[in-house]
Structure 1
Amino acid sequence: MKKIRFGLIGIGAQGGAYAGFLTGKGGFPGMPAPECPPHCELGALCDIDPEKEKMCRENYPEYPFYTDWKEMVASGNVDAVITTVPHYLHPEIAIYCLEHGMNVLVEKPAGVFAKSVREMNECAAKHPETAFGIMFNQRTNKLYQKIKEIVASGEMGEIRRSNWIINSWWRPDSYYAQSEWRATWGGEGGGVLVNQAPHQLDLWQWICGIPSKVYAKCLYGCHRDIAVENDVTIVTEYPNGATGTFITCTHDPIGTDRLEIDLDGGKIVVDSSQTATVYRLKKDEKEMNETMSMMDVAKLTMGNASGADGMYTVETFENTDGWGVQHTTVMENFALHILEGTDLLAPGSDGINGVNLANATQLSSWLGKEVDNPVDEELYLSELNKKIAEEGKFPAR
């Protein structure tokens, strides 16, 4: 069986887990190790940290190790790379690889600022012979795939509003102290919007569409000694007049993960990314509004036979996939795309949508007003560089 040899650039927590996935030696700490994807294997590893090199040579002695990722790209030992490095480096590495005929699976987020991600996408478009994907592993969740299918089919009409509360990203101070670049403007480019929430920012737009207006309130260093945003409330408007809200933070140890989508013909609710409930109205809301008398409404609110039971049907779905299985599914899909032309679950070009929304959210918070989405790339970069200068730790971008 033909297999794609993956080169891992960056062997931190994520890259280390991927090395385990691709060799069958492990995965995320405390979680069962998934089976190695059948058309994937580890080809080589790369990191500039001597401690990471020592670990790799001890745990993966049969695989080449590099301290220069460009040498790995040119080595002939890999067919594709995965970029598990600080976010700012994703576009830089991807562009070089694409220009040198190397297939690239970019870790989320696609980058920090939209200008660099757009340039990466433009480069990929010039090199269609190379595969370009992004690790949006939560797109493999069968619940979200089913919901996207329902919404896209139009069977429940247009979306009227959507709300996502995703506070299950608790991070203590010890997390932010892991590295000097973590939770900094110059090193990471932001907080929860660029580190934890990109998965949901992608899914939200993948399912509900891309908003045209964004207003946001961000709190910086909320209950944590950091400079970047870790408590965010976003209000969006869409071209069809629909609205949406997105709430996330990293200081809630109990956490909530709940998505609600209101449509003309019903409602979809997802709890904890594990259970989805689809309520389909037997008559769409417009018809109900135009035909129901107050007596009908009274019966409805009192739960009589002619009320709720006769108003909608209920369908539920469950997801049982493990966390690591999602990542290996993306890897396998990427390998099959290279080998057989299978459609990508997450084309790399899709990564700009989440970056645009994160940029618009931060810019709205910085300026204190509603902004267009996508935002002016140069204006955003100018404001970001002001934050980097105030921090005084990293060069301007």
Structure 2
Amino acid sequence: MSKLRYGIIGVGNMGTGHAKILMSGAINGAELTAVCDGFEGKREWAREHLKDIAVFEDSASMIDSGLVDAVIVATPHYDHPSEAIQAFGKGMHVLIEKPAGVYAKQVRLMNEAAAASDKKFGIVYNQRTNPLYQKLRELIASGELGEIRRTNWIITNWYRSQVYYDSGSWRATWSGEGGGVLINQCPHQLDLWQWTIGMMPVRIRAFCQFGKHRNIEVENDVTAYAEYANGATGVFITATSEAPGTNRLEVSGDRGKIVIEDGHMTFWRLRESESAFNERNKAPFGTPECWKIDIPSQGKNPEHAGILQNFTDAVLKGVPLVAPGEEGIDGLTISNAMHLSTWLDGWVDLPLDEELHEAELNKRIAESTLRKNKPEAASMPADLSGTF
């Protein structure tokens, strides 16, 4: 195979973004050959703007056409696992948009289907291609920071107005989207939170606020506390109604602290480990010698194009995936635990009780109401340049 032929399932905001990248010729070894969408309005848009690309009403017809080797799943969140499972069953390579799904139980079934298919499976975690977070992961994995002791992430620069939430009747509803900031905006950070440090929490206590300053039914303001097996702790704070917002990640270890903010990394490195200093220190107010190091820029993040190129190369050349699809369950499990902790008003242990989470989610779905506004079929792709 010299060219990987892509078909896109869903031509909404993200689907059209992928289509434009593929149509531009920016991805070596890739070509867009087909798209599909259940809404006629979006199919009409595709026929007009995606010249010489086959347009189908559903994914089964597109896959059966023989025109595609791989699919990009860019549908609403609940449909990611079912579309992926169907594609694996028909011999397709699959790249899914984030989140992997809405609840871990359905994503686990998708992972099992991927393993049985022996096809490439990736997820669009385009922040894993960000050199800043790759460098953080490298410094931690090499032992440069020492054993992790604490993480703090304040990610409140996800500002979303009421107009945004009103742009689709499915938005910010339990039945349509399956959650709010944790499931829509923050999957990238929840993934990076565990990927960079190489640890998943063992228990979580979260406080989600639903519809804070906005007329929505899902969470848009979250403060969560996590504990890890080695005794480390973590705090994760996010919101969509703060202006101006903050994006600041701190990771403290036995050998110092790393801070990422405003696209810059600073490493406060201890000359010796805190443990070693504490053992030998005799001065009541002594502190370890510390050097402030400004880590040089590692370059720009290729974002979606980087993920598409990596996935294409994985299929055609066998290169390792930057974001294996099976790992989508990790960040999702953290968000599921945060929801469940709030719903039950208590601690949630990991591994997650997936059955209990699904049952509690279904209670919210049963009471969910879609807002009355313009139908989804009428909405056209939006400009996503201001978001991840």
1:275 aligned to 240, 245, 264, which one?
Answer: 264
1:392 is displaced (CA, Å) by: 5.0
2:158 alignment partner AA = W
Cα separation, 1, equivalents of 2:369 and 2:181: 21
Secondary structure at the counterpart of residue 266 of structure 2: strand
Cα separation, 2, equivalents of 1:251 and 1:319: 31
After the TM superposition, which parts of structure 1 deviate over 4 Å for at least 4 consecutive aligned residues? none
Secondary structure at the counterpart of residue 381 of structure 1: helix
Cα separation, 2, equivalents of 1:392 and 1:137: 32
Secondary structure at the counterpart of residue 331 of structure 2: helix
Counterpart of 2:4? 4
2:324 alignment partner AA = P
Secondary structure at the counterpart of residue 96 of structure 1: helix
Counterpart of 1:214? 204
Cα separation, 1, equivalents of 2:76 and 2:296: 36
Check whether the contact 1:275–1:319 (CA below 8 A) recurs between aligned residues.
no
1:389 aligned to 347, 357, 366, which one?
Answer: 366
Check whether the contact 1:360–1:374 (CA below 8 A) recurs between aligned residues.
no
Check whether the contact 1:357–1:374 (CA below 8 A) recurs between aligned residues.
no
1:388 is displaced (CA, Å) by: 1.1
1:63-113 deviation line (CA, Å, top 9, x unaligned) = 100111111111111111111111000000001111110010010000001
Counterpart of 1:52? 42
Counterpart of 2:177? 188
When the two structures are superposed, what TM-score results if normalisation uses the length of structure 1? 0.90
Cα separation, 1, equivalents of 2:27 and 2:21: 8
Check whether the contact 1:268–1:278 (CA below 8 A) recurs between aligned residues.
yes
1:190-242 deviation line (CA, Å, top 9, x unaligned) = 00000000000000010121101000000000100000000001100001111
1:356 aligned to 300, 324, 333, which one?
Answer: 333
Check whether the contact 1:6–1:43 (CA below 8 A) recurs between aligned residues.
yes
Check whether the contact 1:215–1:235 (CA below 8 A) recurs between aligned residues.
yes
1:344 aligned to 317, 321, 327, which one?
Answer: 321
Alignment of 1:224 with 2:243, yes or no, is no
1:132-184 deviation line (CA, Å, top 9, x unaligned) = 11000000001111110111122322100100000110001111112111111
1:49 is displaced (CA, Å) by: 1.6
1:269 is displaced (CA, Å) by: 0.6
1:106 alignment partner AA = I
Check whether the contact 2:152–2:234 (CA below 8 A) recurs between aligned residues.
yes
1:317 is displaced (CA, Å) by: 3.1
1:39 is displaced (CA, Å) by: 1.9
Counterpart of 2:61? 71
Bigger relative CO (Cα 8 Å, ≥ 6 apart): 2
Counterpart of 1:86? 76
Counterpart of 1:18? 18
1:76 alignment partner AA = G
Cα separation, 1, equivalents of 2:201 and 2:215: 32
1:19 alignment partner AA = A
Check whether the contact 1:277–1:314 (CA below 8 A) recurs between aligned residues.
yes
When the two structures are superposed, what TM-score results if normalisation uses the length of structure 2? 0.92
Counterpart of 1:318? 297
Secondary structure at the counterpart of residue 141 of structure 2: helix
Alignment of 1:290 with 2:279, yes or no, is yes
Secondary structure at the counterpart of residue 128 of structure 2: helix
1:289 alignment partner AA = N
2:106 alignment partner AA = S
Cα separation, 1, equivalents of 2:58 and 2:242: 39
1:327-367 deviation line (CA, Å, top 9, x unaligned) = 01111110111111100000010000011111100000011
1:290 is displaced (CA, Å) by: 2.6
Check whether the contact 1:212–1:239 (CA below 8 A) recurs between aligned residues.
yes
2:296 alignment partner AA = F
2:310 aligned to 316, 333, 349, which one?
Answer: 333
Cα separation, 2, equivalents of 1:374 and 1:253: 35
Counterpart of 1:97? 87
Which 10-residue stretch deviates more, 350-359 or 287-296?
Answer: 287-296
Cα separation, 1, equivalents of 2:298 and 2:78: 33
Cα separation, 2, equivalents of 1:88 and 1:105: 15
Counterpart of 1:303? none
Check whether the contact 2:8–2:35 (CA below 8 A) recurs between aligned residues.
yes
CA RMSD of aligned residues (A): 1.7
1:319 is displaced (CA, Å) by: 4.8
Q: Which runs of 5+ in 1 are unaligned?
A: 25-34, 301-306
Secondary structure at the counterpart of residue 94 of structure 1: helix
Alignment of 1:164 with 2:153, yes or no, is yes
Counterpart of 2:136? 147
Q: Which runs of 5+ in 2 are unaligned?
A: 372-388
